[in-house]
Structure 1
Amino acid sequence: MRLQVHDFSGHPFQAELSRELAARGHAVDHVYSAQYSSGKGALERTPEDPALLRFSPLDSGRPFQKYSAVGRLRFEQAYARAWLEHNRRTSPECIVACNVPLFALEGFRRAAARRKQPWLLWHQDLFSNAISEELARKFPAPVAGGGSALVRRTEAGIVRSASQVVAIGEEFRNAYRKWGLDTGHVSVIPNWAPLAEIVPRPRSNAWAAAHLPERPELRLLYAGTLGRKHNPLLLADLLRSALAAGLPARLIVASEGEGIEMLRADVMKDPGLPVTLLPFQPAADLPDMLGSADVLVTILEPGASRFSIPSKVLSSLAAGRPLLGLMPEDNPAAADILEAQGYVGPPTAAGVSGAVGWLQNLIRDPSAADELGARGRALAESRFGIVPIADRFEEVLRRAMPGADPGSAFRSRAAHARHPGGLRRRAQNAEA
């Protein structure tokens, strides 16, 4: 089958799925935005990649203006046009759409309906909830209410129109039902992290030597987007509280955009504060960056918990480091942290205080910290195997393409039998 896996963000685990599907005999075109800054996965071919895999960066021809409503809308319209032109040239039999912004996705949906294009919505965020939160912050209630109703109708129409939907949590299916949608075409497949690419690494490694001082510090690392779903100043609060409690802590943040600039302005008020601020790091450096930390931190605001499940927690589990989350306890990612015996507290001063107490206990017993990291990695290995995950995606793709020949288009187990060492070889290379 000619598949397009379109992950706008270019994240690591979506690229892993494309590689696995290509190894099974599908011709996979992995599409992503060349203009969106985020923690990217391995988005270039390697010598080990299947011949049927290619990567296609898309450029809309317009600047990506994340925080300008008009600029963002124009970008999304231009991006939809670039995407549709790419589809016309490549003629995929089925398209998987993931992380594509709402109005670009709506432009694609209309074209797919006209052309009877089978497609699968891989739903990572409830965009209408996030946009509604933003509208409520910026506009009077009547205007915000009307805008919220419009974006919710748009997203509901996208879910309804998709040939199949893969949602990342049961919360999505509950939201669809509240919108009055039938959910017979919805499957839930939780996100994961690529175990072969994100492996536990020594604390002292090449990345740490290049970016961090050689001091006996407690390294607190946040790596990922700092957007409207996050309060970046919470990271500074955590550091200051840890230092006030006598912990020799250093905050390391790898991100880009408005959030890290807000954090930079805050920490500059305290000259000498042990902070390392970096841009997004290359995918090849991700294991060493995560491995350099003593604790991996995740933050999420209460309002965002209704529409977002931070997948950075999954990468943290795979990295084999203790986890600390300042987020609502009812978020599914919080459950993952707690299962790994990490700390979860609310994104408030009380949550920060509790986190510092947890850190004090952790630093007293390095062996306990090692045990927590090993527990997280074991949890990841028990859940993130790409073979059963890809099997489930192939089942959904089969339902999206009911006329496809299962003997030629879907060869999951037979293809895996031909490549039994593929995942293991990639893991060994990552560890080398």
Structure 2
Amino acid sequence: MHIQMHDFSGHLFPAELSRYLAARGHNVDHVYSAQYASGKGTLERTAEDPQQLRFSPLTAGRPFQKYSAVGRIRFERSYASAWLAHTERTAPDCVVACNVPLFALAAFRRAAARWNQPWVLWHQDLFSNAISDEINRRLPGPAAGAGSALVRRTEANVVRSATQVVAIGEEFRRAYRQWGVRTSHVTVIPNWAPIGEIVPRPRENAWADQHLPRGSEFRLLYAGTLGRKHNPLLLTGLLRSALGAGLPARLIVASEGEGIDMLRQDLERSPDLPVTLLPFQSAADLPDMLGSADALLTILEPEASRFSIPSKVLSSLAAGRPVLGLMPADNPAAADIRAADGFVGPPTDFGIAAAVGWLRMLAREPEAAAAVGRKGRQLAERRFGIGPIADRFETVLNRAAGPGFIPGTAEAGPGARNRPAHAAPPPRGFQRKAS
């Protein structure tokens, strides 16, 4: 099967899935945004990669403006145009859309309907909940209500129109039903971390030698995006409380964007705080970076728990380090942390105080801390095997391609793939570009 695996963010685990599917004989075109800044996977071919795998960065004609409403919509429209042109040119049998912004998704789903293009929505976040929160912050009541209803309808139509849906938790299926969307085409496959790439590493390693002072400081590491669903000041608040409780600690944050800017402003009033701020690190450096920490941090605001399940927790488990989450207790990621004997507390001063007590225990009892890390790694090894995960995705892809799909015989161009006999032809006037 010719698969377009489109992960807008360029994360680690979708790239692992693409590599594994290509190794099974599928032709995989791994597409991602060249303009979106985040922690990235290895998004280029290596010597070990099969010939059936390629990587395709997409660039929109507009800059990515995350927090400008008008600028963001213009970017998404431009990105959708680049995506549609790439899809028309490469003619995949099935498209998997992961982390693609909502309005770009909406444009794609309309084109997919015209082209009779099979596609899978790999649903990572409930976009309409997050966008509605932003609308409510910016607009008065009646306008906010109308805007929220519009984005919810848009996302419901995306879910409804997808040939198949992979949701990362049962919470998504419940949301679909609340939107009045039938869920017979929905499969729940939780996220994972690539346990062959993220492996436990020594605390003192080449990455730590380059970026951190040697010594007995207790290292608290946060690596990942810091957006509107996070309060970055929880991180410096945790550090200040740990130092005040007599725990000599250092905070390391590897991120970019608005959240790092907030931390820098906070640190201007406390220039002597032991904090190391870094940009996103490469996929090759990720195991050593995570391994350098004594505890790995995750934060999530209460309202964000309605639409987000932080996948950074899964990488932390794979790294074999204790995990601390300041987040709502009912988020599925909190259950993963507790299953590994990590700490979960609310994202409040009360939660910080309790977290400091847990950190002091880890510092006093290195063997207990090591046991917590081992339990997380064991949990990851039990759950994150790529073979069974790929089996489930292949089942979904085969359902999406349909009973009439015959591998290796598709004509070039969207709308000309191996449709079941009952499928509608491409719309009149559809022009197929030469490849």
Equivalent residues of 1:36, 1:64 under 8 A apart: yes
Aligned pairs (5 A) from 1:117-196: 117-196=117-196
Aligned pairs (5 A) from 1:98-109: 98-109=98-109
**What's 1:243 paired with?**
243
Equivalent residues of 1:8, 1:100 under 8 A apart: yes
Distance 2:81 2:407 in 1: 35
Equivalent residues of 1:32, 1:58 under 8 A apart: yes
Distance 1:157 1:408 in 2: 31
**What's 2:421 paired with?**
none
Distance 1:267 1:299 in 2: 19
1:78 is displaced (CA, Å) by 0.2
**What's 1:86 paired with?**
86
* 1:219 alignment partner, SS class: strand
Cα shift readout 1:200-258 (whole Å, capped 9, x = no counterpart): 00000000000000121000000000000000000010000000000000000000000
| TM-score normalised to structure 1 length | 0.94
Distance 1:82 1:28 in 2: 18
Distance 1:221 1:339 in 2: 20
Equivalent residues of 1:398, 1:404 under 8 A apart: no
Cα shift readout 1:91-146 (whole Å, capped 9, x = no counterpart): 11100000000000101010000011000000000000000011111111111110
Distance 2:336 2:210 in 1: 31
Residues 1:215 and 2:215 are matched in the alignment? yes
**What's 2:326 paired with?**
326
Distance 1:408 1:91 in 2: 12
1:271 is displaced (CA, Å) by 1.8
Equivalent residues of 1:131, 1:148 under 8 A apart: yes
1:403 is displaced (CA, Å) by 2.8
**What's 2:385 paired with?**
385
- Give the aligned residue type for 1:204: E
Equivalent residues of 1:15, 1:41 under 8 A apart: yes
1:297 is displaced (CA, Å) by 0.2
Cα shift readout 1:359-381 (whole Å, capped 9, x = no counterpart): 11111100111111000000000
**What's 1:428 paired with?**
none
- Give the aligned residue type for 1:392: R
Aligned pairs (5 A) from 1:6-155: 6-155=6-155
Residues 1:267 and 2:267 are matched in the alignment? yes
**What's 1:336 paired with?**
336
Distance 1:256 1:340 in 2: 28
Change over 3 Å in CA distance of 1:119–1:399 after alignment to 2:
same
Equivalent residues of 1:219, 1:293 under 8 A apart: yes
Poorly superposed stretches of 4+, deviation over 3 Å: 404-409
**What's 1:199 paired with?**
199
* 2:154 alignment partner, SS class: helix
Distance 1:271 1:27 in 2: 52
- Give the aligned residue type for 1:10: G
Distance 2:5 2:271 in 1: 46
* 1:176 alignment partner, SS class: helix
1:405 is displaced (CA, Å) by 5.2
Distance 2:155 2:279 in 1: 32
**What's 1:421 paired with?**
none
- Give the aligned residue type for 2:131: I
Change over 3 Å in CA distance of 1:293–1:406 after alignment to 2:
farther
1:267 is displaced (CA, Å) by 1.4
Distance 2:244 2:23 in 1: 52
Gap regions ≥5 residues in structure 2: 410-435
Distance 1:17 1:80 in 2: 23
**What's 2:351 paired with?**
351
More helix by share: 1
Equivalent residues of 1:247, 1:360 under 8 A apart: yes
Distance 1:237 1:402 in 2: 53
Distance 1:332 1:6 in 2: 25
Identity %: 75
Distance 1:138 1:263 in 2: 24
- Give the aligned residue type for 1:226: L
- Give the aligned residue type for 2:156: A
Figure out how many residues of one structure are paired with residues of the other and give that number.
Answer: 409
* 2:56 alignment partner, SS class: strand
* 1:28 alignment partner, SS class: strand
**What's 1:418 paired with?**
none
Structure 1, 266-275 or 187-196: larger mean CA deviation: 266-275
| TM-score normalised to structure 2 length | 0.93
Residues 1:289 and 2:298 are matched in the alignment? no
Equivalent residues of 1:94, 1:119 under 8 A apart: yes
1:268 is displaced (CA, Å) by 2.0
